[in-house]
């Protein structure tokens, strides 16, 4: 990324005093709402400043434009996702957790992360021109999840020569299906919870059957 492009997506300064931190928090909260409702193209810094209740000058004091605000939102989302996935994976390493529970809890965690704010999530990962560094960070998070899944598969006696390939494919399928389910196929109103439960069950069954060698690839042994 060129120096000019980097300056467009980096904050101008970090807040150090409590009042400054509150201003930045207000800007980010407002931006999340505006991006979610107006989309990337329809959002301007003036919209964000008005929603946050700050002057446009105050906004520009911390961010050079809407792309820098969007990058800050993505970084915050990735920080939250990393913490939540790490905590879930730690709990799944406990002895005696059956494979079905491992897979289901991973599916439920991914659904929860996507469903926290689907409108904003769509803008962040489908509409916005994210810089390469952020896309690399997303890819790194997925690779770490795949590496953890290999360890979990080995614990269940399901390791094989291409366990890393199977784990990465499972992560890709998990991300793709949960993303589509939450952002593009939501059931209306009262049916949403029931539809989510059915989708979680189907995704869990699909991944479990694949990891057990019942569909695709060479069969995996059971420990």
CATH number for 100: 1.10.357.10
Residue 174 belongs to some domain of the structure: yes
Identify which of 102, 194, 186 has the alpha carbon closest to the alpha carbon of residue 145: 102
Residue 100 belongs to some domain of the structure: yes
CATH number for 39: 1.10.10.60
| Per-residue model confidence (pLDDT) at position 8 | 55
| Per-residue model confidence (pLDDT) at position 12 | 58
Q: How close are the terminal C-alpha atoms of the chain, in Å?
A: 48
Asked whether residue 77 falls in the same domain as residue 156, the answer is yes
Residue 50 belongs to some domain of the structure: yes
pTM of the model: 0.76
Q: Evaluate whether 34 touches 48 at the Cβ level (below 8 Å).
A: yes
Name the one residue in this structure whose structure tokens are 């590496």.
147
Identify which of 120, 135, 20, 19 has the alpha carbon closest to the alpha carbon of residue 70: 120
Asked whether residue 34 falls in the same domain as residue 83, the answer is no
Q: Evaluate whether 160 touches 212 at the Cβ level (below 8 Å).
A: no
Asked whether residue 204 falls in the same domain as residue 136, the answer is yes
Domain extent for 187:
72-211
Mean pLDDT by groups of 10 residues along the chain of 223 residues: 49 74 95 93 96 95 92 88 86 82 89 83 82 84 86 73 82 88 67 81 91 65 43
| Per-residue model confidence (pLDDT) at position 95 | 76
| Per-residue model confidence (pLDDT) at position 160 | 56
The structural domain count of the chain equals 2
Residue 111 belongs to some domain of the structure: yes
Q: Which two tokens stand for residue 134?
A: 């952020």
Of 62, 81, 108, the position where a domain reaches its end is 62
Asked whether residue 154 falls in the same domain as residue 56, the answer is no
Crossing angle of helices 163-184 and 132-155, in 10° steps, is 120
**Cα gap 134→1, rounded to integer Å:** 12
Asked whether residue 113 falls in the same domain as residue 168, the answer is yes
Asked whether residue 94 falls in the same domain as residue 172, the answer is yes
């Amino acid at each position: 990324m060129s120096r000019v492009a980097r300056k467009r997506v980096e904050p101008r300064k970090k807040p150090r005093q409590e009042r400054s931190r509150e201003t930045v928090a207000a800007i980010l909260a407002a931006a999340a709402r505006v991006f979610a409702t107006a989309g990337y193209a329809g959002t301007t810094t003036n919209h964000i400043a008005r929603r946050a209740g700050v002057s446009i000058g105050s906004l520009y004091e911390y961010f050079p434009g809407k792309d820098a605000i969007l990058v800050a939102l993505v970084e915050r989302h990735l920080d939250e996702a990393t913490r939540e996935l790490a905590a879930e994976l730690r709990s799944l390493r406990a002895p005696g957790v059956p494979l079905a529970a491992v897979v289901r809890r991973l599916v439920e965690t991914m659904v929860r992360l996507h469903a926290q704010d689907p409108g904003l999530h769509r803008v962040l990962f489908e509409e916005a021109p994210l810089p390469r560094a952020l896309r690399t960070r997303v890819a790194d998070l997925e690779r770490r999840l795949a590496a953890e899944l290999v360890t979990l598969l080995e614990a269940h006696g399901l390791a094989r020569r291409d366990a890393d390939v199977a784990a990465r494919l499972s992560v890709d399928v998990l991300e793709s299906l949960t993303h589509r389910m939450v952002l593009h196929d939501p059931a209306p109103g009262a049916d949403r919870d029931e539809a989510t439960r059915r989708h979680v069950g189907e995704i869990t069954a699909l991944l479990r059957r694949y990891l057990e060698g019942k569909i695709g690839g060479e069969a995996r042994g059971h420990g």
